[in-house]
C-alpha cells in the first residue's frame, strides 16, 4: 500500500461529525470533545496529546498539542503510527497509518460521581515495531465498568521512535532529547493525563501504568526514568523482560555498536552519504524507514541515553532496581507459562543465540533440569527472557520495601489450536481487558471466569495499590525472602510457591555469573 494514499485517508478522520445533544462532551485545555456512550461508558478517541511529529519535528521531543475551536469529533480512532505489516496481530488497530499518530483514547464510567476515579494507562506491545492503542482488543469499556478511567496510547515506533545518527545528536546539542522519542511520547501522554484526566472524572494522583511485552519493557523504563517520576503511582508489567544483559540490551549513543553507528549504517544503505544532514534524514519517506525492520532483541530499539540534557534513561533496569533507584510504587509483575514455546534460543536474535554464553557445565545442568533437549528447547527461552527476570525484579522491588505482587498466567482455552503446553506470549491481553470476544475463536465459561478475575484484580490494584478484594482468592504479597505468587489457571487463581523454581535458580545463577 502506498503511504501517500494512507496519509490521504487520514484526512477523512478530521471531518466534523454530527452529534446528538445527548452525546458525552468533555472540555479540556485544548477544546471541547464530543464522544460516544455505550454500555454505561463514555468513550473519547483520537485525542492529540502532542503535536504531529512530522517535518522538522521528526526525531524531536514531543511538542505541546494545539488547541481547536468548536467541538472536536472524538468518536473514531486515530491513525496508527508508521509500522510494517502486523501479520494479523490483534494488538494493531485499523488503518490508516501516519506519522501524525500521537493520540490517545479515554473510556470513563458515565455518569461519574464526585469521587475521582483511579486511572489506568495502557502501553501496547509489539516489539517497539508494531501495535497501537486503537485496537479493539484494547477497548477500555469493560475495564471502565469496574470504576476506572482507561487510557490507551499511540507512541512512535521503529526508527521513527528509537533512532540515532550523528547529525541528530549534533542538532540536539546538550539540552535536547536524542534517540528515545517513543519513550518520550509515553511520558508526554502521562503529562497530558496529569493535566486533563480530571475532566473525565479521573484522579491524576492515582495513575497506574500497565503494559505487555515491549509495553511492559516501557513500564520498567518509566520506573527508572527521572522525567517520569511522579506521573504514575502504580505499575503493572506483563511479560516485560527485566534482565538487560542477555535479553534486550540498551545501546548507548557512544558505545560499540552504538545507536549512531546503526543509524549511520542504515542511512548509507538508504542511499544517503556517510555525513548525511538532518534535512536529508527527514526527507526520507517514512515507508523507507520500515525496511529492513529494526531488531528489538538485537538492540536497535533500546536506548540508554543518560540523564544529561534531554536524556530519559541513565541505567539498565535490573541494576537500577538493585540500587533502589526505581519508582517507589506498588508493582504487579509476571509472565505467561509458555511465552515463546515455538522458539529456541538460537531463533531470538540475529546477533547470536541467547544461550551462547553458557558454559559446558551450565548447559549440562540446564538439560538435566529441563528433562533433556526437548524440554530445554520448549521452555528455556521463556525462563531466560520472561519468568526468571520477572521474579528477579519482584525480589529487588520487594527488598527495597515496596508492595510487590508476582503472577504466572497459565490459562489455555479449549479452542486453542497450538500445541503450546501453556499460555503463549500475549495471550493474557483479552483477559486483562475482559475482551474475550476479540480472540476470534470460541471462548468457554472458564475463560469468562478467568477474564472476570484478572480484570477485577487489575482494576482493584489501580484503585488501592493492592489487587485483593472480596470474593477472590487472596493474592499474597511477594516477599524477597519468600517467593509466592498468584497463578491464573484453568481452574481459577491459585496462590502458591513459584513453579519450576529450580529452573529459575539456574537461570539466576547464570545471569549472576555474567555480571
pLDDT digits (tens, 9 = 90+) for 478-487: 997 789 999 9
Q: Note the pLDDT of residue 131.
A: 98
Q: Note the pLDDT of residue 190.
A: 98
Does residue 67 contact residue 29 with C-beta atoms inside 8 Å? yes
The whole-angstrom separation of Cα 90 and Cα 211 is: 15
Residue 98: DSSP 8-state: -
Q: Note the pLDDT of residue 253.
A: 57
Task: Work out the pLDDT band at 299, boundaries 50, 70, 90.
Answer: confident
Axis crossing angle, helix 360-369 with helix 501-514, rounded to the nearest 10: 170
Q: Note the pLDDT of residue 353.
A: 72
Q: Note the pLDDT of residue 221.
A: 95
Q: Is the pLDDT of residue 110 over 80?
A: yes
Task: Work out the pLDDT band at 243, boundaries 50, 70, 90.
Answer: confident
The whole-angstrom separation of Cα 316 and Cα 32 is: 41
Q: Does the annotation count 470 as an active-site position?
A: no
This prediction's pTM:
0.94
The angle subtended at Cα 405 by Cα 193 and Cα 241, nearest 5°, is 75
**Phi, psi of 495, deg, nearest 5:** -85, 145
pLDDT in tens, 393-406: 999 999 999 999 99
Task: Work out the pLDDT band at 307, boundaries 50, 70, 90.
Answer: low
What value does the mean pLDDT take over residues 132-149? 98
Q: Is the pLDDT of residue 107 over 70?
A: yes
Q: Is the pLDDT of residue 244 over 90?
A: no
Q: Is the pLDDT of residue 388 over 50?
A: yes
Q: Is the pLDDT of residue 69 over 90?
A: yes
Q: Note the pLDDT of residue 480.
A: 75
Q: Note the pLDDT of residue 17.
A: 44
What value does the mean pLDDT take over residues 337-344? 91
Q: Note the pLDDT of residue 450.
A: 98
The mean of the pLDDT values for the chain is 91
For residue 7, the SS3 value is helix
What value does the mean pLDDT take over residues 329-348? 91
Q: Does the annotation count 165 as an active-site position?
A: no
Measured between alpha carbons, how far is residue 73 from residues 33, 41, 198, 231 in Å?
A: 6, 17, 20, 28
Task: Work out the pLDDT band at 3, boundaries 50, 70, 90.
Answer: very low
Q: Note the pLDDT of residue 6.
A: 35
Q: Residues 212, 260, 326, 339: which is the catalytic one?
A: 339
pLDDT in tens, 351-371: 567 788 899 999 999 999 999
What value does the mean pLDDT take over residues 324-341? 96
Helix (H) or strand (E) holding 152: strand 149-153
Q: Note the pLDDT of residue 20.
A: 62
Q: Residues 425, 427, 487, 508: which is the catalytic one?
A: 425
> Is the model more confident about 173 or about 503?
503
Q: Note the pLDDT of residue 348.
A: 64
HSE, side-chain direction, 13 A CA sphere, residue 422: 20
Q: Residues 213, 349, 382, 420: which is the catalytic one?
A: 213
- Dihedral of alpha carbons 235, 241, 246, 249, sign: negative
Q: Is the pLDDT of residue 424 over 60?
A: yes
Measured between alpha carbons, how far is residue 18 from residues 21, 76, 105 in Å?
A: 10, 13, 20
438: closest CA among 139, 165, 155, 124?
Answer: 139
What value does the mean pLDDT take over residues 13-30? 72
Q: Does the annotation count 425 as an active-site position?
A: yes
471: closest CA among 462, 479, 460?
Answer: 460
Q: Note the pLDDT of residue 356.
A: 86
Q: Which residues contact 224 (CB under 8 A, 6 or more apart)?
A: 313, 314, 315, 317, 320, 321, 325, 326, 327
Task: Work out the pLDDT band at 252, boundaries 50, 70, 90.
Answer: low
The whole-angstrom separation of Cα 395 and Cα 227 is: 25
Percentage of the chain surpassing pLDDT 70?
92
User: By mean pLDDT, which of 78-87, 149-158, 190-199 is the weakest?
Assistant: 78-87
Q: Is the pLDDT of residue 47 over 50?
A: yes
Amino acid at each position: 500500500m502506498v503511504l501517500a494514499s494512507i496519509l490521504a485517508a487520514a484526512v477523512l478522520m478530521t471531518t466534523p461529525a454530527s452529534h446528538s445533544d445527548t452525546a458525552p462532551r468533555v472540555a479540556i485545555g485544548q477544546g471541547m470533545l464530543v464522544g460516544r456512550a455505550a454500555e454505561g461508558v463514555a468513550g473519547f478517541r483520537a485525542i492529540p496529546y502532542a503535536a504531529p511529529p512530522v517535518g522538522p519535528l521528526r526525531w524531536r521531543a514531543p511538542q505541546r498539542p494545539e488547541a481547536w475551536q468548536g467541538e472536536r469529533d472524538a468518536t473514531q480512532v486515530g491513525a496508527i503510527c508508521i509500522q510494517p505489516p502486523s501479520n494479523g496481530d490483534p494488538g494493531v488497530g485499523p488503518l490508516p497509518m501516519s506519522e501524525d499518530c500521537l493520540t490517545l483514547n479515554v473510556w470513563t464510567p458515565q455518569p461519574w460521581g464526585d469521587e475521582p476515579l483511579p486511572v489506568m494507562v495502557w502501553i501496547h506491545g509489539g516489539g517497539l515495531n508494531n501495535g497501537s492503542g486503537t485496537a479493539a482488543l484494547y477497548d477500555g469499556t469493560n475495564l471502565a465498568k469496574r470504576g476506572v478511567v482507561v487510557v490507551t496510547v499511540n507512541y512512535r515506533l521503529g526508527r521513527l521512535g528509537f533512532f540515532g545518527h550523528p547529525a541528530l545528536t549534533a542538532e540536539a546539542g546538550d539540552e535536547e532529547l536524542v534517540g528515545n522519542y517513543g519513550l518520550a511520547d509515553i511520558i508526554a501522554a502521562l503529562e497530558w493525563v496529569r493535566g486533563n484526566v480530571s475532566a473525565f472524572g479521573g484522579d491524576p494522583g492515582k495513575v497506574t501504568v500497565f503494559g505487555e511485552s515491549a509495553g511492559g519493557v516501557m513500564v520498567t523504563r518509566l520506573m527508572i526514568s527521572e522525567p517520569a517520576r511522579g506521573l504514575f503511582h502504580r505499575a503493572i508489567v506483563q511479560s516485560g523482560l527485566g534482565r538487560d544483559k542477555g535479553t534486550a540490551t540498551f545501546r548507548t549513543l557512544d558505545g560499540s555498536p552504538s545507536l549512531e553507528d546503526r543509524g549511520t549504517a542504515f542511512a548509507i544503505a538508504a542511499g544517503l552519504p556517510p555525513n548525511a544532514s538532518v534535512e536529508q534524514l527527514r526527507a526520507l519517506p517514512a515507508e523507507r524507514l520500515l525496511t529492513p525492520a529494526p531488531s528489538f532483541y538485537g538492540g536497535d530499539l533500546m536506548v540508554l541515553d543518560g540523564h544529561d540534557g534531554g536524556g530519559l534513561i541513565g541505567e539498565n533496569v535490573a541494576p537500577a532496581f538493585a540500587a533502589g533507584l526505581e519508582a517507589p510504587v506498588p508493582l504487579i509483575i509476571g509472565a505467561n507459562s509458555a511465552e515463546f514455546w515455538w522458539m529456541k534460543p538460537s531463533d531470538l536474535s540475529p546477533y547470536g543465540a541467547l544461550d551462547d554464553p553458557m558454559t559446558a557445565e551450565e548447559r549440562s545442568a540446564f538439560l538435566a533440569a529441563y528433562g533433556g533437549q526437548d524440554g530445554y528447547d520448549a521452555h528455556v527461552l521463556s525462563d531466560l527472557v520472561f519468568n526468571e527476570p520477572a521474579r528477579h525484579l519482584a525480589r529487588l522491588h520487594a527488598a527495597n520495601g515496596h508492595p510487590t505482587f508476582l503472577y504466572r498466567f497459565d490459562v489455555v482455552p479449549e479452542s486453542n489450536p497450538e500445541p503450546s503446553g501453556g499460555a503463549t506470549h500475549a495471550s493474557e491481553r483479552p483477559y486483562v481487558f475482559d475482551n474475550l470476544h476479540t480472540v476470534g475463536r470460541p471462548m468457554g465459561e472458564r475463560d469468562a471466569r478467568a477474564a472476570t478475575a484478572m480484570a477485577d484484580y487489575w482494576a482493584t490494584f489501580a484503585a488501592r495499590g493492592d489487587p485483593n478484594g472480596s470474593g477472590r482468592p487472596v493474592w499474597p504479597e511477594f516477599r524477597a525472602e519468600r517467593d509466592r505468587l498468584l497463578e491464573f489457571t484453568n481452574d481459577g487463581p491459585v496462590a502458591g510457591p513459584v513453579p519450576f523454581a529450580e529452573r529459575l535458580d539456574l537461570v539466576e545463577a547464570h545471569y549472576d555469573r555474567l555480571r
